[in-house]
A and B are shown apart, each in its own frame.
Chain A
Amino acid sequence: MILSGLHACTGLDCESRLDALDARCRVLCAFFLAFFLASLRDTVSLLAGSALPLILLCIDGKRGLERVAGRLLYLNRVSVFVILFLPLTYPGERIFYLFSEKGLFMSFIIIWKLNLISSVLLKLVASMGMTRVSSALEGLGVPLKLRSLLLLTTRCVFLLSERFGTMCRAVDLRTRDASGLFACRAFACMVGTTLIHSSDRAERAVLAIGCRGGISGFSGLAAPRWTWMESSFCLLFIINAAFVLMASL
């Protein structure tokens, strides 16, 4: 059993020129553009739609580009599956009696959209880190219970990862080459034991949160502000959408 390195993954939360913008504006613009890009289905409109994601990618210079490009490269592992699989299963005229012409085009469009949408969401949302995402959700009216659950889960994941890693090592030491039913049983008991330990810890956490005045203490401290800069940023995204629509006509 191998626990993929959670601590090796630091997210993309680092300084960016986009940090000057309100978190709500970033989330709204990102989802607007991503949803718009998802609706595009031909090369001309996708070509026109690629301009803004490329500008966003390059906004923080070489270092910012490298960080997102690394993640995009990792994401593109799904492209291999798409290129191999979709042309084989998609209906339509065949090239070399095997690959569907429409399927090849479809896989090309999907990979293009995957990269565009992911780069927009990585740059505008994932780079904020969980704390700013949570404060954006607060500004957008997401209920306190859900935001508290999100922050507590983020905290618990890092808290429990250490214990989980220790248990994985223990199982590995006891049963080095476990596979099949035996591996399932070892894994199930390990998850069960972690659940029991975490349940004890949860009870103590509930008491501690109660002492601090309940979950209302999880409200964000940063006051949201919406200035002309945020309005201009939103306007830029709307103009871009209009431009892409005109280009595709």
Chain B
Amino acid sequence: MHISEGFLSPGVLATGWAVTAAGVAWGIKKMDEGEIVRVSMASSVFFLASLVNVRVGPSAAHLSLIGPVGLMLGWASFPAMFTALLLQAVLFQFGGLLVLGANCASMAVPAVLANALFGSFVRGRGEKIAAAASFFAGALAVLTSAGIAGLLLFFSDHGMALTAKTLLAAHLPLSAVEGATALFMTLFLRRAFPDILTGGGRP
């Protein structure tokens, strides 16, 4: 999902940074001092979770958990993803520092959207509706993220249109895995610790 250095044009890079700056500013404005530790814990758990290989059929995948992050943090997903991606870029050179804005925007925007569209269903009473909503939140968040990454590539160079379409198609099987993981995780958290699924609001 990470776009590497060298792919994006200066205009797209600047747009990515502008969206990320606006999202991070809004996210930290809505976050009070007491919440910083909670967000940092969630951010580090997702940073670590993205380092784990899950076996899917004959191959293995790194899951991004964009949907569950959105359902837990809401707008705070922007600063949480920004810090996690900055750490990944500095410690592991995943993605890069110049493309950090674009990468953060392509992951945090779907997280916020997942919370806005499915958050109330996930936090609602019906378990079956919550399960379906968490599956779609997880799966669609990954597809939206791949779609945004594809658009960023397309706007950098129109010749990369087919590359962008292939990128989106390659994420279709992964989105099913992400959806299933989001479903199991949300059902587990609904039973064990429902206060954590606040979508950025107070429990």
- Interface residues of chain A, those whose CB is within 8 Å of chain B, are 1-4, 6, 9, 11, 30-31, 34-35, 38-39, 71, 74-75, 78, 85-86, 89-92, 102-103, 106, 109-118, 121-122, 125-126, 129-130, 133, 143, 145-146, 148-150, 152-157, 159-161, 164, 168, 177-181, 183-185, 187-189, 191-196, 198-199, 201-202, 205-206, 209, 214-215
Per-residue interface assignment for chain B, residues 21 to 53, with 1 indicating a CB less than 8 Å from any chain A CB and 0 otherwise: 000100010010110111111111101110111
Q: Is the interface of B mostly helix, strand, loop or mixed?
A: helix
For window 146-165 of chain B, which residues contact chain A by CB distance below 8 Å? Answer: 157, 159-160, 162-163
Question: Whole-angstrom distance between the alpha carbons of A183 and B181 in the complex?
Answer: 9
Interface pair A2/B6, CB less than 8 Å apart? no
Can you list 25 pairs linking A and B with CB atoms under 8 Å apart? Answer: A4-B53, A31-B97, A114-B4, A114-B7, A146-B79, A149-B79, A149-B80, A150-B86, A153-B84, A156-B40, A157-B48, A164-B48, A168-B52, A183-B55, A184-B54, A184-B177, A188-B181, A188-B182, A194-B49, A199-B41, A199-B196, A201-B41, A202-B41, A215-B33, A215-B36
Question: Whole-angstrom distance between the alpha carbons of A71 and B5 in the complex?
Answer: 14
Question: Whole-angstrom distance between the alpha carbons of A6 and B41 in the complex?
Answer: 17
Interface pair A38/B10, CB less than 8 Å apart? yes
Question: Whole-angstrom distance between the alpha carbons of A245 and B115 in the complex?
Answer: 46
Residues of B within 8 A of A157 (CB): 44, 47-48, 87
Contact-size category for B: 35 or more
Residues of B within 8 A of A35 (CB): 10, 13, 98
Interface pair A199/B163, CB less than 8 Å apart? no
Per-residue interface assignment for chain B, residues 87 to 130, with 1 indicating a CB less than 8 Å from any chain A CB and 0 otherwise: 10111110011100000000000000000000000000000000
Interface pair B163/A85, CB less than 8 Å apart? yes
- Interface residues of chain B, those whose CB is within 8 Å of chain A, are 4-10, 13, 24, 28, 31, 33-34, 36-45, 47-49, 51-57, 60, 63, 65, 68, 72, 79-80, 82-84, 86-87, 89-93, 96-98, 157, 159-160, 162-163, 166, 177, 180-185, 188-189, 192-193, 196
Question: Whole-angstrom distance between the alpha carbons of A113 and B13 in the complex?
Answer: 14
